[in-house]
Structure formats: C-alpha cells, structure tokens
Amino acid sequence: MINISIIGSGNVANHLAQAFFENKLPIEYIIARNEPEGRTLAKQVKATFVSTHQPIVFHQTNMVIIAVKDDAIEEMGNVLKEVNIPVVHTSGTKSSTLLKDICIKTGVFYPLQTFTKGKNMDFRNIPIIIDSPDVALVTFLKDMASKISDKVVQLTDMERQKMHIAAVFSNNFVNHLWLLAENYCHENDLDFNLLLPLIEETAEKLKTMSPFHAQTGPARRHDLKTIAAHLHLLDVHEMLRTIYKIMSDSIEQNY
Amino acid sequence: MINISIIGSGNVANHLAQAFFENKLPIEYIIARNEPEGRTLAKQVKATFVSTHQPIVFHQTNMVIIAVKDDAIEEMGNVLKEVNIPVVHTSGTKSSTLLKDICIKTGVFYPLQTFTKGKNMDFRNIPIIIDSPDVALVTFLKDMASKISDKVVQLTDMERQKMHIAAVFSNNFVNHLWLLAENYCHENDLDFNLLLPLIEETAEKLKTMSPFHAQTGPARRHDLKTIAAHLHLLDVHEMLRTIYKIMSDSIEQNY
C-alpha cells in the first residue's frame, strides 16, 4: 500500500498531488511553508495540512516527496530530520542522494513536463524519471509512478541531467525564441498573434516527422540572399542578430 | 468573379489550390515544371494542367499566383510574358513589385504558415498577408484571400519582411532547437520521444499566456549553479555550448 506525503505547494506539488488523488493513492500530509496554498491543496486532495514550522508525526506515510525549487530541497528536507521514511525530490538536476543525510533511503521522482497553475494535464502521458541507489526503493518508485503515468523510466543522475539539458533546449529556449519574436513584433507594430497558427503547427509537425525532416527556412535551403537581408534588418538588434547568425550557422552545419 | 491560375506544384501551391477548390473558387490552370506533380494537383482541383514549356492561353483567369521558391519566382514569371493579368507571388521576403516587368499589376499573397505535404490544414486560421502598389488589386486580393482565410492583413514590404524574420525565429529556429535536442539525446543514448509531451505543452501554453509569463528554467530563475553545471556538461559540444550560453544570457536580460 502506497501512502504519500508531499512537501511543497507550488506547481509541481499541485499537479503531482492531483494526479495521485485522481488515481486513488492516499495522501496523508501536504507540508508547506505557504499556509493558504498548502491548506487549499490539502483540502483538494483530502489530505491534512501541516506547516513546515510544526513538528510532523507520520502515521501512514511510506513515501515523502519534496516538490520544491532545487535550491530549497535541502532546507525543506530538514523538517523531516530523524524520520525513517524514504524521501525523494522532483528535480531534473540534483543528485538522487542529495538527501542522504536526512534519510538512508533517498531518490528522485522527476516528472518531465512544464506545469502551469490551474491547468489540468493528462499525467498518463508525462514521462516520470525515477532513480535511487536503493534497489527496493527503485521498485517502489516504479510502482508508484506507474499508477499515474504510462511512461516511467529509470535514468542515472548523469542521464537525467543530460535529459534536463535537452529539455532546456526544447522548452525554455524555444519559449524564449517566441518571446524574442513577440518583442520584435511589438517594436515594429506588428501583431504577434498572427504567428500563433505557425507556432502551433511547428509543434504539431513533430507528431508525424522528425525535426530533421521538418526543417524549413532560409538557412535550410542555403538561401544566403535572404539570410543577408535579414541580418541587415537586424543590424540595430545586437542580440537578435547574434542569435540569428548562430542558429543559421548551426542549421547549415546540419544539412 | 474570381478565376485563378497557379504556377507551381510544391507545398504552397498544393495547399493554396486545395483551399481555393474547397471554397468553390474556380482554378483554370495549374502551370508547373514538374509534370506528374502538376497533373496530380490539377486533377484534384478540377483544373487543366499546363507545362511551363507550353504556350499558355488564358480564357477565364483574372489572377495568376506564382507559388514557387523565392529564387524561381522571376524565372517562372517569364512564362507569362506579355500576358495582361495581375500576378502575385507567395514569398515572405520578395518585393511586391518583383514582377513589374511581367505585368503592370503585381502584388503579394503570402500565407504565414509552414506547410507539410499531404497534411490537411484549416486555412481559415492561417493569416494571409497581401499587398500591391495597385489599389484596385489590393481590394481584389483582400476579397480573394478572405474566401479562404479569416485573417487577411495588408502589410508593406518592410513589415512583411520583419514578420518573416519573426517567423524564422518562431518556426525555423524553434524546430532547429528540437533537432539539437534530438541529436544530443541520440548521442547520449537517451530517448528523444520522452520530450514530446513537453514540446507539445510548450506550444500549448501560448494559447493561454504570453511567452514572457510562460518562461521557466534555470536562466529565468537566475539559477547560476545549474547553468554552470549544464555548461560544464556541454564542454565537449562547442555549438550547443555557444547556443546554451547566448540563449541563457538573452533570457536573463529579459527578467
């Protein structure tokens, strides 16, 4: 029987708690610094709220998930001191043994997705990357993860870190290109919304073809005239010009 | 009454012809260098195929659309020499008067989208950017475009070029980041498919929030430790390292 307590009340904590709750995995405590957010979440998933300032006495919990920002994991872990229950965090980068001073059984439970407050997601489709130096805990984590997701993968710390780098390129940098495009549109009195169908289709294409085959544009077809014209127009934008140049060079290197 | 002939048999020609056909705009000729492709398209849209080597005699056509690659527009325009019918091209960058030696009435009919062969698209949602120095032709183009799309916009050559630059960032460069992520996964024996739900959600988010608010990741939260760890892992990848650095710098500048 799995019984979970979650530390945190942010996006990841919310989405994980909802997913466990919807799949009928009981949650004993929501432990959070932010009382209003923690209480709201606890109520939603029929758990008891505990402030991080209070002493915590676990009754049913056999798995604690620390779902907070990377920099706060260790600090939050300290509220658990001398508790002998396995503890995992949800970070893409931090070591699976980060919490080894808090508990002898530690690990990782990293959902590979970008979460938005208030937006429901189909967790079955979200990859969950797990790991632990403890073989029995790996089995437990696989079991727990498979209750909410169909894509459970065990990766080493190094593999997960590299996957996180690939995620930064695929998500963070991609979103930033859209911000650059939006800013450029605004500066030139152009309507960024006109680009939304193109952006949607750009992602849609990946469902049926690899990015290698989906590539189009001036750099893909070695259209040096258009590239030169674009760089000329970007003369007044040092950052955009630099990014345009490096991305075009990188595309040309691949074809 | 609008009656169209289209020069070209590639992606843009195919999608435009289908959209006109579905919206009951008659197409007299499909004019193409590639005979099998041209004949197939002509058949699909109940038009007559004409090879670019044959002389063309227009009967009903009052609008010729040259839907070929930028570098081939002028060459294809030459098959029309001394024909007194308005001619437009579908380029994001070329001048609206590029074809002024072929016809006194010239313009642009640029659908802002990335097209994939064999994949049907909802054209009503695709912005069509039009322009012409001829006021009557602008009216005609607006009318024609609005038969297939709900988003018809008149932009100057300069505005359209800038929109094209924004499209290169939003589509071409974004797709290339996905290729870089895919290559990096393959090199490290990681499954790129695990990133697909994240990629889908990255684009999905833009439907409900601006890229400024959607931004997450190490650079967004000024997490210098993670950035340093990632750059260290990318030491062996000069191009990835350069792109990681410039994109992170650009994100940090915006927050």
Position B98 scores a pLDDT of 93
Q: How far is B55 from chain A (nearest CA, A)?
A: 31
> Could you tell me what percent of chain A has a pLDDT over 70?
100
Side chain identity at residue B221, one-letter code: R
Chain A residues whose beta carbon lies within 8 Å of the beta carbon of residue B113: 197-198, 201
Tell how many helices (H) and how many strands (E) occur in chain B.
10, 8
Q: Angle at Cα B122 formed by Cα B121 and Cα B124, nearest 5°?
A: 140
| Stronger pLDDT, A116 or A143, i.e. the higher one | A143
Residue type for position B113:
Q
Judge if ipTM > 0.85.
yes
According to the model, what pLDDT value does residue A128 have?
A: 98
Q: Tell me how far apart the alpha carbons of residues B116 and A205 are, in angstroms, rounded to a whole number.
A: 8
What's the sign of the alpha-carbon dihedral B249, A187, A175, A235?
negative
Q: Give A217-248 pLDDT, tens digit per residue.
A: 999 989 999 999 999 999 999 999 999 999 99
Q: What residues of A are in contact with residue B250 (Cβ under 8 Å)?
A: 176, 180, 239, 243
Q: What is the 3-state secondary structure (H, E, C) of B59-80?
A: CCCCEEEECCCHHHHHHHHHHH
Interchain CB distance below 8 Å, B239 and A253 = yes
Q: How confident is the model at residue A122 (pLDDT cuts 50, 70, 90)?
A: confident
Cα–Cα distance measured from residue B187 to residue B207, given in angstroms and rounded to the nearest whole number: 33
Residues 6+ apart with CB under 8 A from A105: A85, A86, A87, A132, A134, A136, A137
Q: What are A29-70's pLDDT values in tens digits? A: 999 999 999 999 999 999 999 999 888 999 999 999 999 999
Query: Which residue, among B159, B235, B247, would best test binding to A if mutated, counting the most A CBs under 10 Å from its CB?
Result: B247
**Stretch 211-240 of chain B: residues touching chain A, C-beta under 8 Å:** 211-212, 214-221, 223, 225-226, 229-230, 233-234, 239-240
- Confirm if B146 and B152 have CB atoms less than 8 A apart: yes
Sign of the four-CA dihedral B20, B23, B29, B35:
positive
Asked if B41 and B13 count as a contact pair (C-beta separation under 8 A), the reply is yes
A85 and B CB contact within 8 Å:
no
| Alpha-carbon distance values, B153 to A200, B25, B182, B196 (Å) | 19, 20, 36, 33
Distance from CA of B60 to the nearest CA of A (A): 33
**pLDDT value, residue B220:** 94
Query: What pLDDT score was predicted for residue B104?
Result: 82
Q: pLDDT of chain B along its 255 residues, tens only?
A: 899 999 999 999 999 999 999 999 999 999 999 999 999 999 999 999 999 988 899 999 999 999 999 989 999 888 887 778 999 999 999 999 999 888 889 999 999 999 888 788 889 999 999 999 999 999 999 999 999 999 999 999 999 999 999 999 999 999 999 999 999 999 999 999 999 999 999 999 999 999 999 999 999 989 999 999 999 999 999 999 999 999 999 999 999
pLDDT value of residue A117: 80
Q: Which of A168, A212, A242 to mutate to test the interface with B (most CBs of B within 10 A)?
A: A168
Chain segment A181-217, per-residue pLDDT in tens: 999 999 999 999 999 999 999 999 999 999 999 999 9
Q: Is the pLDDT of residue A179 over 80?
A: yes
Q: What is the nearest CA distance from A197 to chain B, expressed in angstroms?
A: 6
The pLDDT of residue B84: 85
Residue in B with minimal Cα distance to A213: B179
Pairing of strands A48-51, A27-32: parallel
Q: Which residues of B touch A186 (CB under 8 A)?
A: none
Terminal Cα-to-Cα distance of chain B (whole angstroms): 53
What pLDDT does B118 receive? 78
| Residues on chain B touching A116 (C-beta within 8 angstroms) | 205, 208-209, 214
Chain B residue numbers with beta carbons less than 8 Å from the beta carbon of A189 are: 159
B238 CB neighbours in chain A (<8 A) are none
Let me know if B41 is exposed, middle or buried by CB neighbors in 10 A (0-12, 13-18, 19+). buried
CB under 8 Å to A136, separation ≥6 — which residues? A105
pLDDT for B55 equals 86
Residues of chain A positioned with their CB less than 8 A from the CB of B170: 177-178, 181, 195, 198-199, 202
> Tell me, what's the pLDDT at A79?
86
A1 pLDDT band, cuts 50/70/90, is confident
Euclidean distance between CA atoms B145 and A134, whole angstroms = 63
From B202, B200, B222, select the one nearest B211 (Cα to Cα): B202
Residue A82 has pLDDT above 80, yes or no: no
Strands (E), A84-196: 87-89, 106-111, 128-131, 152-154
Which residues 99-158 of A have a C-beta within 8 angstroms of B? 112-114, 116, 119, 121, 125-127, 129, 151, 153, 155
**Which pLDDT value is given to residue A77?**
87
Residues 6+ apart with CB under 8 A from B179: A210, A211, A212, A215, A254
d(CA A141, CA B254): 38
What pLDDT digit, counting tens, does each position of A160-170 carry? 999 999 999 99
Query: CB A116 to CB B192 under 8 A?
Result: no
Buried b or exposed e, range B74-105, using 16+ CB within 10 angstroms: bebbebbeebeebbbbbbbbbbbebbeebbeb
Rounded to a whole number of angstroms, the distance from the CA of B172 to the nearest CA of chain A is: 6
- Across the interface, of A167, A197, A230, the residue whose CB is closest to B165 is A230
The pLDDT value given to residue A102: 83
Cα–Cα dist B63/B28, whole Å: 10
